[in-house]
Amino acid sequence: MKHSIGEAARLSGVGIETIRYYEREGVVPPPLRTGSGRRVYDDDGVSQLRFIRRCRDLGFPIGEIRMLLSLATERQRACAEVRTISERHLESVRRKIRDLVELETALADLHGQCGDGRRDCPMLGRLFGE
Amino acid sequence: MKHSIGEAARLSGVGIETIRYYEREGVVPPPLRTGSGRRVYDDDGVSQLRFIRRCRDLGFPIGEIRMLLSLATERQRACAEVRTISERHLESVRRKIRDLVELETALADLHGQCGDGRRDCPMLGRLFGE
DNA sequence: TCTTGATCCTGTAGCCGCTACAGGATGCAT
DNA sequence: ATGCATCCTGTAGCGGCTACAGGATCAAGA
């Protein structure tokens, strides 16, 4: 089946402007065009877009999605390499979680010092002090 | 004491270019200048910069730092308002943590399906499928 | 056939919070 | 006088979109 960019967007869950952005950035190949210049996507194109959206939902950066996509479309589906990429990404997600949890602790600690008064906030004092 | 921008950067832990950026954006007021046009910071200016850096370390966005800073420099130190801002921020940090933990689960799950083989990666299959 | 409204096109600018230049002017020590 | 550090302004880039402006085209109804 052939689809307009709007249909492709609906089917894949990727916004129209974002699809064009991916094309500009070379994440997806440029699709065919109608005589009047409108983009035409086939089912494979839509699948690629859906794949990208799922990867983005998982927080993969564009560069790694590009790698995953080329592994996938070259039909190699090289598991070991996918494993490496997803492992690296998983590690970065876990690092972010650790950082945020640390931050949460510090923030909750500071926040806890705030009373209900209207002056001389201890949190501001701590942030300004030294 | 008076300080050059370089000294202010060292003392506050904020980069030189970042200080100028904060000035452009109106986060800090423009400092005095020497005859030849170089910026001069006093200790209060350095304290403000340090305050901003600490807030940034805590993940506060610039807009909220602006509010905190005005609360602080107006000498009102209104604790209740600081509480509101930090509460909102804390909530957004916690939301981020929840999102990331969810993401981590999904990712680890997918990642766990990858074997050591070189073809037909189940993770790619899942990402492409429908 | 005409008109309306939806959809599409390109190109550009903005978001956040910096960071990294380029290209030039000072300041300070020797 | 020389040389190097530091400073200045202005601009562009990062990632990953998003939001226009201003125009072309399409499909459906009257």
β-pair type (A32-33, B39-40): unpaired
Model pLDDT, residue A8: 97
The mean per-residue pLDDT over the stretch B3-21 comes to 96
Domain B5-115 has CATH 1.10.3720.10: no
**In whole angstroms, what separates CA B45 from the centre of its chain?**
19
CB atoms within 10 A of CB A101: 14
Grade residue B73 by pLDDT with cuts at 50, 70 and 90.
confident
Burial class (CB in 10 A: 0-12, 13-18, 19+), B29: exposed
What are the residues whose beta carbons fall under 8 Å from the beta carbon of A61, sequence distance 6 or more? none
**Percent of chain A's residues with pLDDT above 70:** 93
Bridge partners for A3 per DSSP: A41
Grade residue B77 by pLDDT with cuts at 50, 70 and 90.
low
Model pLDDT, residue B118: 58
Nucleotide nearest the Cα atom of A21 (by C1'): D17
Q: Which of A92, A100, A44 is nearest to A64 (CA)?
A: A92
**Are the Cβ atoms of B108 and A116 closer than 8 angstroms?**
no
**In whole angstroms, what separates CA A106 from the centre of its chain?**
27
**Percent of chain B's residues with pLDDT above 90:** 48
**Nearest chain B Cα to A110, which residue?**
B86
The mean per-residue pLDDT over the stretch B81-108 comes to 89
C-alpha to C-alpha distance for A3 and A43, rounded to whole angstroms = 8
CATH number listed for the domain at residues A1-77: 1.10.1660.10
Query: Nearest-CA distance from A34 to chain B in Å?
Result: 27
* Helices marked H in A25-121: 43-57, 62-73, 79-112
- Nearest by CB to residue A90, choosing from B71, B80, B108, is B108
**Are the Cβ atoms of B47 and A90 closer than 8 angstroms?**
no
Q: Which of A84, A1, A4, A13 is nearest to B130 (CA)?
A: A13
Question: Are B48 and B8 in contact, with CB atoms under 8 Å apart?
Answer: no
Residues B18-44 pLDDT 10s:
999 999 999 999 999 999 999 999 999
Query: Does the pLDDT at position A86 exceed 70?
Result: yes
Model pLDDT, residue B11: 95
Question: Are B49 and B8 in contact, with CB atoms under 8 Å apart?
Answer: yes
**Are the Cβ atoms of B100 and A96 closer than 8 angstroms?**
yes
Query: Nearest-CA distance from B43 to chain A in Å?
Result: 12
Grade residue B121 by pLDDT with cuts at 50, 70 and 90.
confident
